[in-house]
Chain A
Amino acid sequence: MSKPPDLMQGTLDLLLLKIIGLLPQHGWAISQRLKQVSDQELQVSDGSLYPALHKLELAGWITAEWKVGELGRRAKFYTLTRAGRRRLDHETEHWRRVSSAITRVLQLKEV
Protein backbone atom coordinates (compact mmCIF):
# COMPACT_ATOMS: atom_id res chain seq x y z
CA MET A 1 0.00 0.00 0.00
CA SER A 2 1.69 3.16 -1.17
CA LYS A 3 -0.71 5.60 0.51
CA PRO A 4 -2.45 5.37 3.91
CA PRO A 5 -6.20 4.84 3.55
CA ASP A 6 -8.51 7.86 3.64
CA LEU A 7 -10.13 8.70 6.92
CA MET A 8 -13.45 7.08 7.47
CA GLN A 9 -16.41 9.32 6.88
CA GLY A 10 -17.12 11.35 10.00
CA THR A 11 -13.90 10.37 11.72
CA LEU A 12 -12.22 13.67 10.92
CA ASP A 13 -15.00 15.48 12.77
CA LEU A 14 -14.35 13.35 15.84
CA LEU A 15 -10.61 14.07 15.72
CA LEU A 16 -11.17 17.81 15.33
CA LEU A 17 -13.63 17.93 18.22
CA LYS A 18 -11.14 16.06 20.37
CA ILE A 19 -8.21 18.32 19.52
CA ILE A 20 -10.20 21.53 19.93
CA GLY A 21 -11.64 20.15 23.16
CA LEU A 22 -8.17 19.84 24.63
CA LEU A 23 -7.24 23.42 23.84
CA PRO A 24 -8.95 26.17 21.87
CA GLN A 25 -6.70 26.88 18.89
CA HIS A 26 -6.53 28.15 15.33
CA GLY A 27 -6.58 26.12 12.12
CA TRP A 28 -2.85 25.90 11.57
CA ALA A 29 -2.21 24.71 15.13
CA ILE A 30 -4.95 22.12 14.78
CA SER A 31 -3.36 20.85 11.58
CA GLN A 32 0.08 20.61 13.27
CA ARG A 33 -1.34 18.82 16.27
CA LEU A 34 -3.16 16.35 14.04
CA LYS A 35 0.03 15.52 12.15
CA GLN A 36 2.05 15.29 15.32
CA VAL A 37 -0.19 12.98 17.32
CA SER A 38 -1.07 10.68 14.45
CA ASP A 39 2.59 10.18 13.57
CA GLN A 40 1.83 11.07 9.97
CA GLU A 41 -0.34 7.95 9.80
CA LEU A 42 -3.51 9.91 9.22
CA GLN A 43 -3.14 12.03 6.15
CA VAL A 44 -5.37 15.01 6.59
CA SER A 45 -4.56 17.59 3.97
CA ASP A 46 -4.86 21.16 5.16
CA GLY A 47 -7.18 21.64 2.22
CA SER A 48 -9.82 19.38 3.79
CA LEU A 49 -9.24 20.72 7.29
CA TYR A 50 -10.91 24.08 6.75
CA PRO A 51 -14.11 22.80 5.11
CA ALA A 52 -14.46 20.38 8.04
CA LEU A 53 -13.93 23.16 10.61
CA HIS A 54 -16.47 25.41 8.94
CA LYS A 55 -19.00 22.61 8.83
CA LEU A 56 -18.59 22.04 12.58
CA GLU A 57 -18.94 25.75 13.19
CA LEU A 58 -22.15 26.05 11.18
CA ALA A 59 -23.53 23.03 13.04
CA GLY A 60 -22.90 24.77 16.36
CA TRP A 61 -20.49 22.16 17.77
CA ILE A 62 -17.65 24.66 17.81
CA THR A 63 -17.55 28.42 17.85
CA ALA A 64 -14.89 30.80 16.62
CA GLU A 65 -13.29 33.90 18.04
CA TRP A 66 -10.71 36.27 16.57
CA LYS A 67 -7.63 36.75 18.71
CA VAL A 68 -4.06 37.78 18.14
CA GLY A 69 -2.01 34.69 17.38
CA GLU A 70 1.62 34.01 16.56
CA LEU A 71 3.55 36.50 14.38
CA GLY A 72 1.30 39.17 15.90
CA ARG A 73 -1.43 38.50 13.37
CA ARG A 74 -5.15 38.07 13.90
CA ALA A 75 -6.14 34.41 13.91
CA LYS A 76 -9.44 32.56 14.16
CA PHE A 77 -9.47 30.44 17.32
CA TYR A 78 -11.93 27.58 17.56
CA THR A 79 -13.50 26.54 20.89
CA LEU A 80 -15.76 23.62 21.70
CA THR A 81 -19.30 24.63 22.65
CA ARG A 82 -21.13 22.79 25.41
CA ALA A 83 -23.15 20.91 22.83
CA GLY A 84 -19.88 20.12 21.06
CA ARG A 85 -18.51 18.66 24.27
CA ARG A 86 -21.53 16.36 24.58
CA ARG A 87 -21.21 15.45 20.93
CA LEU A 88 -17.56 14.55 21.47
CA ASP A 89 -18.41 12.26 24.41
CA HIS A 90 -21.14 10.62 22.43
CA GLU A 91 -18.99 10.11 19.33
CA THR A 92 -16.06 8.84 21.36
CA GLU A 93 -18.25 6.22 22.99
CA HIS A 94 -19.62 5.25 19.61
CA TRP A 95 -16.12 4.94 18.18
CA ARG A 96 -15.04 2.68 21.05
CA ARG A 97 -17.95 0.34 20.50
CA VAL A 98 -17.49 0.13 16.74
CA SER A 99 -13.73 -0.27 16.79
CA SER A 100 -13.79 -2.98 19.46
CA ALA A 101 -16.44 -4.81 17.50
CA ILE A 102 -14.29 -4.64 14.37
CA THR A 103 -11.26 -5.78 16.34
CA ARG A 104 -13.18 -8.77 17.67
CA VAL A 105 -14.17 -9.76 14.16
CA LEU A 106 -10.62 -9.43 12.87
CA GLN A 107 -9.29 -11.59 15.72
CA LEU A 108 -11.39 -14.59 14.64
CA LYS A 109 -9.19 -17.57 13.86
CA GLU A 110 -9.88 -20.51 11.61
CA VAL A 111 -10.80 -23.66 13.47
Chain B
Amino acid sequence: MWRWFYAIRARLHALLGSARSDRDLNHELSFHVAMQKYANEVRGMSSAEAERRARLSLDGVQQLKERLHEQRSILWFDHLRQDVTFAIRMIFRTKVVSLAVIVTFALGIGANTAIFSLIDSVLLSPLPYDSPERIVTVEPFWTNTGLANTVSSAPDFRDWRQQNHVFHSMAFHAGREVRVVANGTPTFASVQLVTPDFFNVFGVRPTTGRLWSETEDRTPLAVVSHAWAIGQFGNVDAAIGKTIEAVGQPLEIVGVASSGFAYPGSTDIWASSSLIPLNSNRNGHNYFVVGKLKPGISLEDARGEMRDIAARLEKEHPENRFKSIAITPMRDKLTSGAQNDVVAVVRNRRRRTAHRVCQCRPFAVGARGRARS
Protein backbone atom coordinates (compact mmCIF):
# COMPACT_ATOMS: atom_id res chain seq x y z
CA MET B 1 0.00 0.00 0.00
CA TRP B 2 3.02 2.29 0.36
CA ARG B 3 3.10 2.44 -3.40
CA TRP B 4 -0.15 4.39 -3.27
CA PHE B 5 1.29 6.77 -0.74
CA TYR B 6 4.18 7.61 -3.05
CA ALA B 7 2.00 7.58 -6.15
CA ILE B 8 -0.63 9.85 -4.66
CA ARG B 9 1.97 12.18 -3.22
CA ALA B 10 3.69 12.48 -6.59
CA ARG B 11 0.38 12.98 -8.40
CA LEU B 12 -0.89 15.59 -5.98
CA HIS B 13 2.41 17.31 -6.27
CA ALA B 14 2.13 17.34 -10.06
CA LEU B 15 -1.51 18.41 -9.96
CA LEU B 16 -1.68 20.97 -7.17
CA GLY B 17 1.83 22.32 -7.02
CA SER B 18 1.86 23.10 -10.71
CA ALA B 19 4.18 26.09 -10.40
CA ARG B 20 6.51 24.22 -8.11
CA SER B 21 6.54 21.13 -10.24
CA ASP B 22 7.40 23.32 -13.28
CA ARG B 23 10.31 24.75 -11.34
CA ASP B 24 11.40 21.24 -10.35
CA LEU B 25 11.25 20.17 -13.96
CA ASN B 26 13.43 23.12 -15.01
CA HIS B 27 15.92 22.28 -12.28
CA GLU B 28 16.04 18.65 -13.24
CA LEU B 29 16.60 19.27 -16.93
CA SER B 30 19.09 22.11 -16.45
CA PHE B 31 21.07 19.87 -14.10
CA HIS B 32 21.18 17.25 -16.83
CA VAL B 33 22.35 19.83 -19.40
CA ALA B 34 25.01 21.14 -17.03
CA MET B 35 26.34 17.65 -16.35
CA GLN B 36 26.35 16.70 -20.02
CA LYS B 37 28.01 19.98 -20.95
CA TYR B 38 30.70 19.37 -18.36
CA ALA B 39 31.28 15.85 -19.70
CA ASN B 40 31.48 17.20 -23.24
CA GLU B 41 33.99 19.85 -22.19
CA VAL B 42 36.14 17.20 -20.56
CA ARG B 43 36.15 15.44 -23.92
CA GLY B 44 37.63 18.63 -25.40
CA MET B 45 34.66 20.48 -26.83
CA SER B 46 34.38 24.24 -26.73
CA SER B 47 31.96 25.62 -24.16
CA ALA B 48 29.39 26.64 -26.79
CA GLU B 49 29.59 23.34 -28.64
CA ALA B 50 29.40 21.38 -25.37
CA GLU B 51 26.24 23.23 -24.41
CA ARG B 52 24.65 22.79 -27.85
CA ARG B 53 25.33 19.05 -27.87
CA ALA B 54 24.05 18.71 -24.32
CA ARG B 55 20.76 20.35 -25.25
CA LEU B 56 20.52 18.26 -28.37
CA SER B 57 20.96 15.06 -26.36
CA LEU B 58 17.61 15.76 -24.72
CA ASP B 59 15.99 16.18 -28.15
CA GLY B 60 15.66 19.87 -27.36
CA VAL B 61 15.04 21.07 -23.82
CA GLN B 62 11.90 23.07 -24.63
CA GLN B 63 10.37 20.26 -26.66
CA LEU B 64 11.06 17.79 -23.87
CA LYS B 65 9.38 20.06 -21.34
CA GLU B 66 6.30 20.21 -23.51
CA ARG B 67 6.28 16.46 -23.91
CA LEU B 68 6.54 15.99 -20.16
CA HIS B 69 3.70 18.43 -19.59
CA GLU B 70 1.53 16.64 -22.07
CA GLN B 71 2.36 13.25 -20.61
CA ARG B 72 1.50 14.51 -17.18
CA SER B 73 -2.03 15.51 -18.12
CA ILE B 74 -2.64 12.32 -20.08
CA LEU B 75 -1.31 10.23 -17.20
CA TRP B 76 -3.50 12.13 -14.80
CA PHE B 77 -6.68 11.00 -16.52
CA ASP B 78 -5.23 7.58 -17.06
CA HIS B 79 -4.42 7.21 -13.38
CA LEU B 80 -7.81 8.50 -12.37
CA ARG B 81 -9.45 5.83 -14.49
CA GLN B 82 -7.12 3.16 -13.10
CA ASP B 83 -7.68 4.28 -9.53
CA VAL B 84 -11.44 4.26 -9.87
CA THR B 85 -11.34 0.81 -11.43
CA PHE B 86 -9.01 -0.37 -8.71
CA ALA B 87 -11.24 1.10 -6.00
CA ILE B 88 -14.34 -0.59 -7.39
CA ARG B 89 -12.50 -3.89 -7.69
CA MET B 90 -11.29 -3.64 -4.10
CA ILE B 91 -14.79 -2.86 -2.85
CA PHE B 92 -16.08 -6.06 -4.40
CA ARG B 93 -13.07 -8.09 -3.36
CA THR B 94 -13.31 -7.12 0.31
CA LYS B 95 -17.08 -7.12 0.55
CA VAL B 96 -17.34 -7.41 4.32
CA VAL B 97 -14.85 -4.68 5.10
CA SER B 98 -16.31 -2.41 2.44
CA LEU B 99 -19.80 -2.99 3.74
CA ALA B 100 -18.65 -2.19 7.28
CA VAL B 101 -17.05 1.03 6.06
CA ILE B 102 -20.12 2.02 4.06
CA VAL B 103 -22.45 1.25 6.96
CA THR B 104 -20.20 3.21 9.32
CA PHE B 105 -20.34 6.22 7.04
CA ALA B 106 -24.09 5.86 6.60
CA LEU B 107 -24.67 5.70 10.36
CA GLY B 108 -22.30 8.59 10.96
CA ILE B 109 -24.00 10.79 8.41
CA GLY B 110 -27.41 9.65 9.62
CA ALA B 111 -26.61 10.42 13.25
CA ASN B 112 -25.33 13.85 12.32
CA THR B 113 -28.42 14.59 10.28
CA ALA B 114 -30.65 13.39 13.11
CA ILE B 115 -28.89 15.53 15.69
CA PHE B 116 -29.00 18.59 13.51
CA SER B 117 -32.67 18.06 12.67
CA LEU B 118 -33.36 17.83 16.38
CA ILE B 119 -31.40 20.96 17.15
CA ASP B 120 -33.03 22.77 14.27
CA SER B 121 -36.58 21.87 15.25
CA VAL B 122 -36.14 22.38 19.00
CA LEU B 123 -33.56 25.09 19.40
CA LEU B 124 -33.98 27.20 16.30
CA SER B 125 -37.66 27.26 15.41
CA PRO B 126 -40.13 28.98 17.75
CA LEU B 127 -42.64 26.92 19.73
CA PRO B 128 -45.81 26.58 17.65
CA TYR B 129 -48.05 27.90 20.43
CA ASP B 130 -49.78 31.16 21.25
CA SER B 131 -47.46 33.60 23.11
CA PRO B 132 -44.94 30.84 23.76
CA GLU B 133 -42.77 33.12 25.91
CA ARG B 134 -45.49 33.12 28.60
CA ILE B 135 -45.75 29.34 28.81
CA VAL B 136 -43.92 27.84 31.78
CA THR B 137 -43.66 24.61 33.71
CA VAL B 138 -44.48 24.64 37.42
CA GLU B 139 -42.66 22.04 39.49
CA PRO B 140 -41.99 21.20 43.13
CA PHE B 141 -38.52 21.98 44.35
CA TRP B 142 -37.00 20.88 47.68
CA THR B 143 -34.94 23.55 49.39
CA ASN B 144 -33.10 21.10 51.64
CA THR B 145 -31.75 18.87 48.88
CA GLY B 146 -31.82 21.31 45.98
CA LEU B 147 -33.61 18.73 43.85
CA ALA B 148 -36.66 19.34 41.70
CA ASN B 149 -39.27 16.97 40.40
CA THR B 150 -41.06 17.33 37.09
CA VAL B 151 -44.33 16.07 38.54
CA SER B 152 -46.49 17.57 41.24
CA SER B 153 -49.18 16.27 43.59
CA ALA B 154 -52.86 16.90 42.86
CA PRO B 155 -53.61 18.79 46.12
CA ASP B 156 -50.58 21.03 45.61
CA PHE B 157 -51.73 21.77 42.07
CA ARG B 158 -55.20 22.67 43.30
CA ASP B 159 -53.80 25.07 45.89
CA TRP B 160 -51.27 26.64 43.50
CA ARG B 161 -53.98 27.21 40.93
CA GLN B 162 -56.53 28.67 43.34
CA GLN B 163 -54.22 30.92 45.34
CA ASN B 164 -52.11 32.60 42.66
CA HIS B 165 -52.76 35.91 40.87
CA VAL B 166 -50.01 35.67 38.29
CA PHE B 167 -51.24 32.90 36.03
CA HIS B 168 -53.70 33.41 33.20
CA SER B 169 -54.24 29.65 33.24
CA MET B 170 -52.69 26.63 34.89
CA ALA B 171 -53.29 22.98 34.06
CA PHE B 172 -51.79 19.56 34.49
CA HIS B 173 -51.49 16.58 32.23
CA ALA B 174 -50.69 12.95 32.96
CA GLY B 175 -50.86 10.01 30.63
CA ARG B 176 -49.22 7.36 28.55
CA GLU B 177 -49.78 4.90 25.72
CA VAL B 178 -52.89 2.85 26.42
CA ARG B 179 -55.21 0.51 24.61
CA VAL B 180 -57.83 2.45 22.70
CA VAL B 181 -60.74 1.01 20.74
CA ALA B 182 -61.72 3.16 17.79
CA ASN B 183 -64.02 2.04 14.97
CA GLY B 184 -64.26 -1.30 16.75
CA THR B 185 -60.52 -1.89 16.33
CA PRO B 186 -58.20 -1.89 19.33
CA THR B 187 -54.99 0.12 18.90
CA PHE B 188 -52.41 1.79 21.06
CA ALA B 189 -52.66 5.53 21.40
CA SER B 190 -51.06 8.15 23.57
CA VAL B 191 -53.74 9.44 25.93
CA GLN B 192 -53.33 12.42 28.26
CA LEU B 193 -55.70 13.24 31.06
CA VAL B 194 -55.81 17.02 31.30
CA THR B 195 -57.60 19.71 33.30
CA PRO B 196 -59.93 22.03 31.33
CA ASP B 197 -57.43 24.91 31.27
CA PHE B 198 -54.88 22.78 29.43
CA PHE B 199 -55.89 24.07 26.00
CA ASN B 200 -55.94 27.67 27.24
CA VAL B 201 -52.31 27.39 28.30
CA PHE B 202 -51.29 26.62 24.73
CA GLY B 203 -53.98 28.74 23.07
CA VAL B 204 -55.19 25.70 21.16
CA ARG B 205 -58.37 26.15 19.14
CA PRO B 206 -60.30 23.26 17.64
CA THR B 207 -59.96 22.67 13.91
CA THR B 208 -63.47 21.33 14.03
CA GLY B 209 -65.93 20.63 16.85
CA ARG B 210 -65.20 22.19 20.25
CA LEU B 211 -63.20 21.81 23.44
CA TRP B 212 -64.93 20.84 26.66
CA SER B 213 -65.72 23.51 29.21
CA GLU B 214 -65.15 23.51 32.95
CA THR B 215 -68.80 22.63 33.59
CA GLU B 216 -68.44 19.48 31.49
CA ASP B 217 -65.32 18.34 33.31
CA ARG B 218 -66.93 15.15 34.52
CA THR B 219 -68.56 14.29 31.20
CA PRO B 220 -66.62 11.64 29.24
CA LEU B 221 -65.54 13.82 26.33
CA ALA B 222 -62.35 13.75 24.31
CA VAL B 223 -60.41 16.03 21.99
CA VAL B 224 -58.15 14.23 19.53
CA SER B 225 -55.16 15.34 17.51
CA HIS B 226 -55.48 16.31 13.89
CA ALA B 227 -53.15 13.55 12.73
CA TRP B 228 -54.86 10.84 14.77
CA ALA B 229 -58.34 11.89 13.57
CA ILE B 230 -57.25 11.58 9.96
CA GLY B 231 -55.44 8.30 10.63
CA GLN B 232 -58.49 6.74 12.30
CA PHE B 233 -61.43 8.29 10.52
CA GLY B 234 -60.07 9.53 7.20
CA ASN B 235 -60.93 13.18 7.83
CA VAL B 236 -61.38 15.48 10.82
CA ASP B 237 -65.12 15.99 10.47
CA ALA B 238 -65.79 12.25 10.52
CA ALA B 239 -64.21 12.06 13.99
CA ILE B 240 -66.77 14.36 15.62
CA GLY B 241 -69.45 12.49 17.56
CA LYS B 242 -67.64 9.17 17.38
CA THR B 243 -67.31 7.18 20.58
CA ILE B 244 -63.99 5.58 21.40
CA GLU B 245 -63.01 3.54 24.41
CA ALA B 246 -59.95 4.65 26.33
CA VAL B 247 -58.71 4.51 29.92
CA GLY B 248 -61.44 1.98 30.61
CA GLN B 249 -64.34 4.14 29.55
CA PRO B 250 -66.21 5.29 26.49
CA LEU B 251 -65.36 8.81 25.39
CA GLU B 252 -67.20 10.93 22.89
CA ILE B 253 -65.01 12.92 20.52
CA VAL B 254 -66.23 16.52 20.58
CA GLY B 255 -63.28 18.26 18.94
CA VAL B 256 -60.14 17.93 16.86
CA ALA B 257 -57.17 20.06 17.95
CA SER B 258 -55.49 22.43 15.51
CA SER B 259 -53.13 20.74 13.11
CA GLY B 260 -49.67 20.10 14.51
CA PHE B 261 -50.63 20.35 18.18
CA ALA B 262 -49.70 17.17 20.01
CA TYR B 263 -48.27 18.34 23.34
CA PRO B 264 -46.86 16.57 25.30
CA GLY B 265 -44.80 14.54 22.86
CA SER B 266 -47.08 13.08 20.25
CA THR B 267 -50.35 12.87 22.10
CA ASP B 268 -53.33 11.43 20.21
CA ILE B 269 -56.17 11.93 22.69
CA TRP B 270 -56.85 14.40 25.49
CA ALA B 271 -59.52 13.45 28.02
CA SER B 272 -60.73 15.07 31.20
CA SER B 273 -58.66 14.27 34.26
CA SER B 274 -61.80 14.32 36.42
CA LEU B 275 -62.83 11.02 34.86
CA ILE B 276 -60.40 9.15 37.08
CA PRO B 277 -59.84 9.52 40.83
CA LEU B 278 -56.83 11.69 41.51
CA ASN B 279 -54.20 10.85 44.08
CA SER B 280 -55.04 13.13 47.01
CA ASN B 281 -51.77 12.41 48.79
CA ARG B 282 -49.45 15.45 48.86
CA ASN B 283 -46.51 13.07 48.47
CA GLY B 284 -48.04 11.48 45.36
CA HIS B 285 -46.23 13.37 42.64
CA ASN B 286 -47.80 12.30 39.37
CA TYR B 287 -48.95 15.35 37.45
CA PHE B 288 -47.07 17.55 35.01
CA VAL B 289 -48.09 21.15 35.62
CA VAL B 290 -47.95 23.78 32.88
CA GLY B 291 -49.15 27.35 33.01
CA LYS B 292 -49.44 30.56 31.05
CA LEU B 293 -48.49 33.77 32.82
CA LYS B 294 -50.79 36.76 32.64
CA PRO B 295 -49.60 39.33 30.10
CA GLY B 296 -47.11 41.72 31.71
CA ILE B 297 -46.22 39.38 34.57
CA SER B 298 -42.50 38.73 34.64
CA LEU B 299 -40.90 35.43 35.53
CA GLU B 300 -39.57 37.03 38.71
CA ASP B 301 -43.05 38.24 39.79
CA ALA B 302 -44.42 34.77 39.26
CA ARG B 303 -41.56 33.11 41.15
CA GLY B 304 -42.01 35.53 44.05
CA GLU B 305 -45.70 34.84 44.46
CA MET B 306 -45.37 31.10 44.03
CA ARG B 307 -42.61 31.00 46.64
CA ASP B 308 -44.97 32.71 49.07
CA ILE B 309 -47.73 30.21 48.34
CA ALA B 310 -45.28 27.34 48.84
CA ALA B 311 -44.15 28.81 52.17
CA ARG B 312 -47.75 28.99 53.32
CA LEU B 313 -48.41 25.37 52.28
CA GLU B 314 -45.24 24.32 54.09
CA LYS B 315 -46.68 25.66 57.34
CA GLU B 316 -50.12 24.15 56.80
CA HIS B 317 -49.01 20.67 55.73
CA PRO B 318 -46.14 18.79 57.35
CA GLU B 319 -45.72 16.70 54.16
CA ASN B 320 -44.83 19.90 52.33
CA ARG B 321 -41.79 20.57 54.49
CA PHE B 322 -38.97 22.08 52.35
CA LYS B 323 -41.20 21.92 49.26
CA SER B 324 -40.96 25.10 47.18
CA ILE B 325 -41.90 25.82 43.57
CA ALA B 326 -39.73 26.10 40.46
CA ILE B 327 -40.97 27.98 37.42
CA THR B 328 -39.14 27.41 34.12
CA PRO B 329 -39.96 28.83 30.69
CA MET B 330 -41.09 25.92 28.54
CA ARG B 331 -38.66 26.93 25.83
CA ASP B 332 -35.71 26.37 28.21
CA LYS B 333 -37.23 23.11 29.35
CA LEU B 334 -37.52 21.77 25.82
CA THR B 335 -34.06 22.99 25.03
CA SER B 336 -32.53 21.31 28.04
CA GLY B 337 -34.41 18.17 27.10
CA ALA B 338 -32.92 18.32 23.65
CA GLN B 339 -29.47 18.91 25.05
CA ASN B 340 -29.89 15.87 27.26
CA ASP B 341 -30.97 13.88 24.24
CA VAL B 342 -28.00 15.03 22.24
CA VAL B 343 -25.68 14.29 25.11
CA ALA B 344 -27.31 10.89 25.50
CA VAL B 345 -26.83 10.16 21.81
CA VAL B 346 -23.23 11.25 21.89
CA ARG B 347 -22.25 9.57 25.13
CA ASN B 348 -24.51 6.58 24.69
CA ARG B 349 -24.70 6.35 28.41
CA ARG B 350 -27.67 6.02 30.72
CA ARG B 351 -28.44 8.86 33.03
CA ARG B 352 -27.94 7.68 36.58
CA THR B 353 -29.83 9.83 39.06
CA ALA B 354 -33.47 8.90 39.51
CA HIS B 355 -34.43 12.54 39.79
CA ARG B 356 -32.65 13.37 36.62
CA VAL B 357 -34.48 10.61 34.79
CA CYS B 358 -37.72 12.08 36.01
CA GLN B 359 -36.69 15.50 34.94
CA CYS B 360 -35.63 14.61 31.46
CA ARG B 361 -38.11 12.02 30.31
CA PRO B 362 -41.27 13.99 29.52
CA PHE B 363 -39.42 16.82 27.88
CA ALA B 364 -37.15 14.59 25.92
CA VAL B 365 -40.29 12.89 24.68
CA GLY B 366 -41.71 16.28 23.86
CA ALA B 367 -38.61 17.21 21.94
CA ARG B 368 -38.65 13.99 19.96
CA GLY B 369 -42.29 14.40 19.20
CA ARG B 370 -41.71 17.83 17.83
CA ALA B 371 -38.75 16.70 15.82
CA ARG B 372 -40.86 14.03 14.23
CA SER B 373 -43.73 16.28 13.19
Chain B contacts of A60 at CB under 8 A? 2-8, 10
Which 6 A-B pairs have CB atoms at the shortest separation, nearest pair first? Answer: A60-B7, A83-B3, A47-B59, A60-B3, A28-B35, A60-B6
Contact with A along B32-71 (1 / 0, CB 8 A): 1011101000000000000000000111100110011001
Q: How many Å lie between the Cα of A45 and that of B57 in the bound state?
A: 7
Q: B: which residues have CB within 8 A of A? A: 2-11, 14, 24, 27-29, 31-32, 34-36, 38, 57-60, 63-64, 67-68, 71-72, 75, 79
* B90, chain A: closest CB distance, angstroms: 16
Please tell me if the beta carbons of A63 and B32 are within 8 angstroms of each other in the complex: no
Interface of A is mostly: helix
Distance, CA A55 to CA B28, complexed state (A): 15
Report which of A27, A51, A63 forms a contact with B10, defined as CB distance below 8 A.
Answer: A63
Q: Which A residue sits closest to B59, measured CB to CB?
A: A47
Contacts of A81 in B (CB 8 A): 2-3, 6
**Residues of chain B lying within 8 A (CB to CB) of residue A57:** 6, 10
List, in ascending order, chain A residues with CB within 8 A of B36's CB.
28, 46
Question: Separation in Å of the B8 CB from the closest CB of chain A?
Answer: 8
By size class, the interface of chain A is 20 to 34
The reply on A104 being an interface residue by CB < 8 A is no
* A1 interfacial by beta-carbon distance below 8 Å: no
Smallest Cβ-Cβ distance to A63: which chain B residue: B6
A76/B2 contact (C-beta < 8 A), A28-B36, A60-B10 known: no
In the complex, whether A71 has a CB less than 8 A from a CB of chain B is: yes
A69 to B32, CA, bound (A): 11
Is A54 interfacial (CB-CB < 8 Å)? Answer: yes
Contact B59–A58 (Cβ < 8 Å): no
Q: Which residue of A lies closest to B30 (CB)?
A: A73
Contacts A47-B64, A51-B67, A58-B10 given; 6 further ones with Cβ under 8 A?
A26-B31, A47-B63, A60-B10, A70-B35, A76-B24, A83-B3
